[in-house]
Amino acid sequence: MSHLEAVPATDAQLLRAHIQGDPDAFGELFRRHKDRMWAVAVRTTRDPEIAADAVQDGFISAFRRAESFRGDSQVTTWLHRIVVNACLDRMRRIRPTAELPEYDLADRHDRHASAEVRIDVQQALGEIPEAQRLALTLVDMQGLSVAETAQVLEVAEGTVKSRCARGRAALAELLRDRQGDGYGAAR
């Protein structure tokens, strides 16, 4: 495997090496993708504790089921699908108690407006249907293509486009309503 040390192995090569018994290959996949999977899990679950558990569940599942990777998508798309499914499984078990994470807003001097906007967006995301939220999270926040998102969510590309469009429209309306209220100003 000395040639893999000289030239970084692709994700697919690492997954094959893992399946063939390389004890370090999956660890490298984990190191490469843990941050991105964490980000998608936090945005999907809106709870860092649940996200951490879901990422762990997802990577354990990927480790155990590596042979199930068919190679018809990128390894990252396959990992996204596994982690999103782990998030959904965790959320279904605890619903409806999952709430938005608390933000430390004690130091709001310079970031007051941007913190309020972030909170408004996070809360608005929590109010739109789950299918729309997942599509928006993967496409707009994680930068996956519509095709990759369709593979992760196991739906047609047109469905992803539709969910994104509806989700964006719903978010725009919710945010417009919040800003129109003047953040609590008397009417």
Residue ending a domain, choose from 43, 70, 101: 101
Whether residues 152 and 80 share a domain: the answer is no
Residue 165 lies in a domain: yes
Which residue shows structure tokens 């003047």? 182
HEC profile for the chain? CHHHHHCCCCHHHHHHHHHCCCCCHHHHHHHHHHHHHHHHHHHHHCCHHHHHHHHHHHHHHHHHCHHHCCCCCCHHHHHHHHHHHHHHHHHHHHCCCCCCCCCCCCCCCCCHHHHHHHHHHHHHHHHCCHHHHHHHHHHHHCCCCHHHHHHHHCCCHHHHHHHHHHHHHHHHHHHHHHHHCCCCCCC
Q: Is the pLDDT higher at 103 or at 138? A: 138
- CA nearest neighbour of 27 among 63, 56, 67, 57: 63
Residue 82 lies in a domain: yes
pLDDT tens string 96-112: 433 434 434 444 444 44
Q: What is the pTM of this model?
A: 0.61
Identify the pLDDT of residue 185.
39
Distance CA 170, CA 28 (A): 39
Whether residues 14 and 97 share a domain: the answer is yes
Residue 141 lies in a domain: yes
User: Given a cut of 60, is residue 3 above it in pLDDT?
Assistant: no
Residue 186 lies in a domain: yes
Residue 2 lies in a domain: no
pLDDT tens string 43-71: 888 889 999 999 999 999 999 999 988 88
Distance CA 2, CA 138 (A): 36
Tallying the residues shown for the chain, one arrives at: 187
